[in-house]
Amino acid sequence: MNEDIEVVVIGAGVAGLGAAAALRAAGRSHVILEASGRAGGRAWTAYPAALGGVWFDMGAIWFHDAENNPLTPIARNAGDTLLRSDEIRGERTYIDGRPINASEARAYDAAWPRYAAAAEALLKDGGDVPLSAVAQALADDRWAPTVEAWEGPVICAADADTFSTRDWRRNALGGLNLVPEGGVGAFVTRRLTAGLDIRFDTPATRIEWGERVKVETPAGTVTAKACIVTVSTGVLASGALAFDPALPAETRDAVHALPMGLAIKVALRANGPDRLDLPGHCSVDRQVARSGESLMPFQCWPFGRDYVQGWIGGGLAWTLAKAGEAAVIDHALGELRALFGGRVDRLFAGGGTLVTHWDSDPWVRGAYCYALPGHAAARDILARPIADGRLNFAGEGCNVPYAGTVAGAWLSGQAAARAALAAL
């Protein structure tokens, strides 16, 4: 594979596919080098036997802010069904093992805008603080630690004391969440890869970026006029991809200011008819007592299925991932037991289990990145074209306001393609 083309794209995740779509529309020759054996990256639908072979998204599952999400019209125009997950969702919140009452539910609802307003107030002088400062500023608010646990570790995969409040505010997602029927990963391979030249099992190992760009792989070298690198900041920080000359200091600093958070998905399949007295597609959480305490929310019986799936995020996710699958499942069962008692052990004994492992995927190394306090601008810096657009970075880490999502990955890939086209 010793080739000479106009643009070489590293990575066939959503950002790489977005870049390739824009290059193809512009009629420019390009190739995508993908280290793994499949396209989609963190958009990956599996069909685990442990869950009866149903489709299951190991990574992205929702089109967030669906009315404005650039992937929504692609799905709609292709005739795909988008499931209205928010509308069919039931919700149960618990305090000390009992469901909350109506006045507590009202207080919980009111806590979210209050928390956002407190964050804005802390940022109004133009500075930045760790997200944990918001709950500290709301010391008398009994629900603030719960909102923090959701917004930090659960949604952004980052612990509140190491996560930039400004980064959170710049990327806080509103709007509707839709689920493409059959899974986001399946949608990506079905609708976004057709006709593209993707070389699988072809990791880029070294990128020389001089007057021309030379990308080395175990299968040979690709020479191009411009390059778009879409690997995660975890892969960039690992040094698995060498750059010659070394990247500019501001780019290297940006990579280190955007470490990977971790989110683990755990699914437990019921072995009998008990559904814990919950409706289908029911979101379950509990009140968190203090800032920094972890929360493991569950979606129980999603789309009427016979399993529950839970999320563990942030530092606890890294710790449990190191401890192994049994520790992750024990943690999930412990959380469920605290809400539903010993029937949980009978219900899930011998049922199938699934645990995701984004921590140990060498081509990802985490779930998605977050900015350290004071470093929200790192995303803009990483997205800046280098060497007049001959070298460009893209991916979920490079987009605002859709950081950490497939929408952000797609848009950043397209922006990088525009920069590469300008370089041609």
Residue ranges in contact with ligand FAD by CB under 6 A: 10-16, 33-36, 41-43, 59-62, 64, 203-204, 230-232, 235, 240-241, 263, 265, 356, 358, 363-364, 367-368, 395-396, 404-407, 409
Cβ at position 271, least distance to ligand FAD in Å = 25
Cβ at position 313, least distance to ligand FAD in Å = 9
Q: Between residues 256 and 290, which has the closer beta carbon with respect to ligand FAD?
A: 256
Q: Between residues 240 and 421, which has the closer beta carbon with respect to ligand FAD?
A: 240
Measured between alpha carbons, how far is 208 from 211 in angstroms, rounded to an integer?
9
Tally of CB atoms within 10 A around 348: 22
Q: Report which of 162, 115, 169 is spatially closest to residue 142, judged by C-alpha positions.
A: 115
Cβ at position 211, least distance to ligand FAD in Å = 23
Q: Between residues 292 and 404, which has the closer beta carbon with respect to ligand FAD?
A: 404
Measured between alpha carbons, how far is 386 from 382 in angstroms, rounded to an integer?
9
Q: Between residues 235 and 284, which has the closer beta carbon with respect to ligand FAD?
A: 235
23 is written with which tokens?
């290059």
Measured between alpha carbons, how far is 300 from 317 in angstroms, rounded to an integer?
20
Q: Between residues 99 and 401, which has the closer beta carbon with respect to ligand FAD?
A: 401
- Report DSSP state, residue 358: G
State the Cα torsion 265-404-318-349 to the nearest 10°.
Answer: 0
**3-class SS of residue 340:** helix
Are the CB atoms for 91 and 283 separated by under 8 Å? yes
Residues comprising the chain, all counted: 424
**3-class SS of residue 133:** helix
Q: Between residues 108 and 368, which has the closer beta carbon with respect to ligand FAD?
A: 368
215 is written with which tokens?
């990308």
Cβ at position 404, least distance to ligand FAD in Å = 5
Q: Report which of 363, 390, 403 is spatially closest to residue 247, judged by C-alpha positions.
A: 390
- What type of residue sits at position 63? F
The DSSP secondary structure of 42-97, one letter per residue, reads T--EE--GGGTT--EESS---BTTTTT-THHHHHHHTT--EE-HHHH-EEEEEETT
86 is written with which tokens?
């928010």
Cβ at position 263, least distance to ligand FAD in Å = 4
Q: Between residues 236 and 284, which has the closer beta carbon with respect to ligand FAD?
A: 236
Cβ at position 69, least distance to ligand FAD in Å = 8
Q: Between residues 141 and 151, which has the closer beta carbon with respect to ligand FAD?
A: 151
Cβ at position 347, least distance to ligand FAD in Å = 24
Are the CB atoms for 19 and 393 separated by under 8 Å? no
Cβ at position 158, least distance to ligand FAD in Å = 13
Q: Between residues 43 and 344, which has the closer beta carbon with respect to ligand FAD?
A: 43
Cβ at position 205, least distance to ligand FAD in Å = 7
Cβ at position 94, least distance to ligand FAD in Å = 24
Q: Between residues 19 and 347, which has the closer beta carbon with respect to ligand FAD?
A: 19
- What type of residue sits at position 169? R
Phi-psi region of 388 (alpha: psi -120 to 50; beta: other; left: phi over 0): left
Are the CB atoms for 209 and 7 separated by under 8 Å? no
